Amino acid sequence: MKKIVLVLLFIITYSFTNTLEDGKLAYDNNDYIKAFKIYEELASNGNANAQYALGMMHQNGDGVIQDYKNAVYWYEKAAIQGILEAQYMLYYIYSFGSYGHVQEDKKKSMKWLIEAAENGHPKAQYNLGSYYKMGSNITQDYDKAYEWLKKAANQGLKDAQFELEQLYKMDEYSRDAIRKSFESNEKAANQGDKKAQNAIGYNYYNGINVMKDYEKAFYWYEKAANQGNIGAQFNIGEMYYKGQGVQRNYIKAFKWYKMAASQGHKDAQDKLKNTSNDNFEWILETANQGLPESQNLLGTMYLKGKEVNKDYEKAFYWFTESAKGGSDQALYNIGNMYYHGYGIKQDYIKAFEYYRKAASHGNKDAQNEIRNIDYKSFNWHERAANQGLPESQNILGVMYLQGNMVNQDYGKAFELFEKASIKGEAYASLNLGLMYLGGKGTNKDTKKAIKYFKKACDGGIKEACEYFSIVW
């Protein structure tokens, strides 16, 4: 928070050894400890200006450990005695909760704002006028907005002068139109119109023509969202994300963002992208709540050491959790970990198994990986074949059969096809049939060829079915 400038209005004078002037002189000379002691003595004896100064020093942490609760204590004592700056500071602190140091309290905030405004504080008058104009924390009232903005403007506050000019432009017809629009939407909303329900939610959320009320805003947004209103779905996501009018819940926020995004809502799409990539709090919270997308993202962060220390064990854990939830990208990532041996024993069979699972769910990265592996990496398939992977045994067999990246060897090809066929690899059965039919790597045997064509055909290989019908 920006450091508060010490303002002293010498209203009450006391005959103490130390005076307000002494305290201010010490403060201006950055002798905060001395200033604090002087103000503390004066404040304890009821000096309102010293009480305000003491509150300010507690708030800034000047000459004392920063303590907002003590700041509020002394501000309230000064405010009761009519110190405007103290009243205004109480409004500010209670309005925002001083970033968690003091609990937010809208009632107390408005109490002190009105008090300061009525006593002539220009910024308080401006803020009160703005609240009346927008209907924020108070029922919208253009006449009262005009009244308070004019008072602030007459004291030379430029922001108030600008707001007042904007209010001048909003004639009675415009104000009445806003009011009638709200009444019309309210009637339609109660009759089940989803657009009107979303509009009423917007009114309550922003305090337009009504007092701002997040719970009522959520109520109407939810009604509209459940009827398929895309804007309302995004708005519900926002409220769950921020914890406005409802308990914060990232899982539900993600649900509604995703629902709106899937229907083309640009803000929802951007929100998903931004929160998923940049908000570690979001990712961690939703991962712990069981969201597969976030679990995969968290795994990736641990794998790459992004925003966290690199940890393969944690990466594998979160990828596994995400895969359980149905994430095809997590399946692909587990495949990568097995393929490269990241934090675990390198295992080509398991790598291929996870690539295949991910590919079967439409994962393009996994599909490309399988295509890249097929017929391009002899070493990969040799290792995987030796580990008993039937897909690799068949592919390695084709390599030996064609002399691709290895010397042509029909005998080795036949041996590999036979091993893969036993394990149910349909393409290997087709290849065995062709070798028996042509007498390559083995004696020519039409009956055995038919047998393996039939086996491959039953395994779903259309080409094998055609060979079977021809030879049979």
pLDDT tens-place values along the chain, 472 residues long: 445 555 554 444 444 478 999 989 998 898 999 999 999 999 999 999 999 999 999 988 898 888 888 999 999 999 999 999 999 999 988 887 754 567 888 889 899 999 999 999 999 998 898 888 777 778 777 778 878 888 887 788 777 777 766 665 555 545 555 566 677 778 888 889 898 898 888 888 877 777 788 999 999 999 999 999 999 999 999 998 888 999 888 778 888 988 988 888 888 887 776 655 556 777 887 788 788 888 898 899 899 888 788 999 999 999 999 999 899 999 999 999 998 899 998 887 788 889 989 988 888 888 887 776 655 567 777 878 888 888 889 988 988 998 877 899 999 999 999 999 999 999 999 999 999 999 999 999 999 999 999 999 999 998 889 888 887 7
- Nearest-CA neighbor of 88 among 61, 109, 60, 62? 109
For the whole model, what pTM was predicted?
A: 0.38
- Classified as helix, coil or strand, 210 is coil
Count of alpha carbons within 13 angstroms of residue 56, beta-carbon side: 28
pLDDT digits (tens, 9 = 90+) for 425-442: 999 999 999 999 999 999
Contact (Cβ atoms closer than 8 angstroms) between residue 243 and residue 252: no
Q: The tokens of 98 are what? A: 């001083």
DSSP-derived letter for residue 309 is -
- Nearest-CA neighbor of 328 among 372, 351, 291, 362? 362
Strands (E), 89-194: none
**Other residues' Cβ atoms within 10 Å of the Cβ of residue 1:** 13
Rounded Cα–Cα distance for residues 148 and 162 (Å): 13
Contact (Cβ atoms closer than 8 angstroms) between residue 228 and residue 197: no
Instruction: Name residues whose C-beta falls within 8 Å of residue 163's C-beta, 6 or more positions apart in sequence.
Output: 126, 129, 130, 133, 149
Helix axes 426-438, 410-422, angle to 10 degrees: 140
Contact (Cβ atoms closer than 8 angstroms) between residue 334 and residue 319: yes
Render 258-290 in DSSP notation, one character per residue: HHHHTTT-HHHHHHHHHHHHH-HHHHHHHHHTT
CB burial of residue 278 (10 Å; 0-12, 13-18, 19+):
exposed
* Encoded amino acid at 265, one letter: H
- Structural domains in the chain, sorted by start: 1-119 (1.25.40.10), 378-471 (1.25.40.10)
Rounded Cα–Cα distance for residues 330 and 332 (Å): 5
